[in-house]
């Protein structure tokens, strides 16, 4: 069924099922002999949802048939993505950030599986049923969050900033945001812009964001054909999900450009960079490169002006002789400086390079 303004779901249908599929890929990646990620909660969560096909993906029993559902490569892609964001969180922890918000958290178990510095609070936002299911299932198997975890069950098309603040979010503290697997077509473009503008408004200086963006289904005929192949393959294996119908058609927001235009220091990545960083094989066939062309990745930092200027002017320089406009020009120049292509996963250091 096509998307509508106030549609809802659980983890076994519509957009919710995509969270289960991604978790199944993380489980499959975890179960490999030389895993690049470790998500021990993914498999029990997927089993609890109860979609037989996805459980078989999670355990490694189902690897696809005719290549339409190329499970091994899908596993590589989601594993590389998960690893990239795990490393992002390690880096934000090193930078001293103790407030984390995971939007569209789905079956993300980072609040249970990562080692967070003392005093970190992780907020998770998703549809109420999704959040509730994860909390209950993990509690039933005796899993405990490794830090303070606060949940916000709300639709991201509604007033989530108010709900987040009601849960204790502190606008004065720098925040590390993550939007994994959501700004890729699951929200209408206007809702994406609103979400980013809300993130910006709630971000104290020093905040960071990591996200993937674009559209998991591009608008080309090849992309639509590919989506149809996935839908058909899912149906052949007993699961009805019209993949293309989950995605809002049209142009989606370039998250990297949106943040850069608003003064954030942004680095772009392609899926290829993430796979290479994880030591996984490159993309080869058209089925594999399709999603890679339509989706990009970005990490962004809102450096404080003070911190930026310290890297431009000699230590001890008296800045009182510069007008606000001069300083703003320097800030813009720094934020828009050309950078060499990325060679490591997260070249955003604790300070501007």
Ligand X SMILES: C[S@@+](CC[C@H](N)C(=O)[O-])C[C@H]1O[C@@H](n2cnc3c(N)ncnc32)[C@H](O)[C@@H]1O
Sketch the per residue contact string, 51 through 90, with ligand X: x for CB under 6 A, - otherwise. Answer: ----------------------------------------
Site for ligand X (CB under 6 A): which residue of 36, 45, 58, 187?
187
Select 5 or 318, whichever has its Cβ closest to ligand X.
5
Residue 108 binds to ligand X (criterion: CB under 6 A):
yes
Task: Name the residue with the smallest CB distance to ligand X.
Answer: 106
Residue 107 binds to ligand X (criterion: CB under 6 A):
yes
Select 43 or 180, whichever has its Cβ closest to ligand X.
180
Sketch the per residue contact string, 9 through 48, with ligand X: x for CB under 6 A, - otherwise. Answer: ------xx-xx--xx-------------------------
Sketch the per residue contact string, 145 through 164, with ligand X: x for CB under 6 A, - otherwise. Answer: ----------xxx-------
Question: 71-94 and 14-30 are packed helices; what angle lies between their axes, rounded to 10 degrees?
Answer: 90
Closest distance between ligand X and the C-beta of residue 156, in Å? 4
Sketch the per residue contact string, 109 through 138, with ligand X: x for CB under 6 A, - otherwise. Answer: -----------------xx--x--------
Closest distance between ligand X and the C-beta of residue 146, in Å? 18
Residue 309 binds to ligand X (criterion: CB under 6 A):
no
- Single out the residue of 270, 111, 120, 259 nearest to residue 195, CA to CA: 259
Site for ligand X (CB under 6 A): which residue of 186, 243, 248, 297?
186
Site for ligand X (CB under 6 A): which residue of 70, 145, 174, 181?
181
- Can you tell me which residue has the tokens 């339409």? 68
Closest distance between ligand X and the C-beta of residue 244, in Å? 15
Closest distance between ligand X and the C-beta of residue 280, in Å? 17
> Of how many residues is the chain composed?
353
Give the footprint of ligand X on this chain (CB under 6 A). 15-16, 18-19, 22-23, 104-108, 126-127, 130, 155-157, 180-182, 186-187
């Amino acid at each position: 069924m096509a998307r509508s303004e106030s549609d809802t779901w659980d983890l076994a249908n519509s957009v919710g099922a995509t969270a289960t599929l991604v978790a199944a890929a993380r489980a499959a990646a975890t179960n490999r002999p030389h895993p690049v990620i470790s998500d021990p909660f993914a498999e029990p969560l997927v089993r609890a949802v109860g979609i037989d096909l996805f459980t078989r993906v999670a355990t490694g029993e189902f690897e696809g048939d005719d290549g339409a559902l190329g499970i091994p490569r899908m596993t590589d892609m989601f594993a590389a993505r998960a690893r990239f964001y795990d490393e992002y969180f390690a880096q934000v922890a090193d930078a001293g950030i103790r407030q984390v918000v995971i939007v569209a958290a789905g079956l993300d178990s980072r609040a249970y599986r990562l080692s967070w510095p003392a005093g970190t609070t992780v907020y998770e936002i998703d549809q109420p049923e999704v959040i509730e299911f994860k909390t209950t299932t993990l509690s039933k198997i005796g899993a405990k969050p490794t830090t303070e975890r606060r949940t916000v069950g709300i639709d991201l098309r509604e007033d989530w900033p108010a709900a987040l603040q009601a849960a204790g979010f502190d606008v004065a503290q720098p925040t590390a945001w993550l939007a994994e697997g959501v700004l890729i077509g699951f929200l209408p473009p206007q809702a994406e812009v609103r979400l980013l503008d809300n993130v910006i408004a709630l971000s104290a200086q020093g905040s960071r964001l990591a996200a993937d963006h674009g559209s998991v289904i591009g608008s080309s005929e090849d992309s639509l054909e590919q989506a149809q192949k996935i839908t058909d393959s899912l149906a052949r294996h007993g699961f009805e999900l019209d993949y293309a119908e989950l995605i809002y058609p049209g142009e989606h927001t370039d998250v990297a450009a949106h943040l850069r235009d608003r003064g954030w220091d942004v680095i772009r990545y392609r899926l290829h960079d993430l796979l290479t960083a994880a030591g996984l094989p490159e993309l080869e066939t058209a089925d594999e490169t399709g999603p890679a062309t339509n989706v990009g990745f970005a990490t962004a930092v809102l450096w404080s002006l003070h911190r930026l200027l310290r890297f431009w002017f000699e230590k001890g320089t008296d800045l009182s002789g510069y007008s606000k406009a001069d300083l703003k020009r320097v800030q813009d120049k720094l934020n828009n400086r050309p950078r060499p292509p990325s060679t490591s996963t997260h070249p955003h250091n604790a300070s501007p390079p």
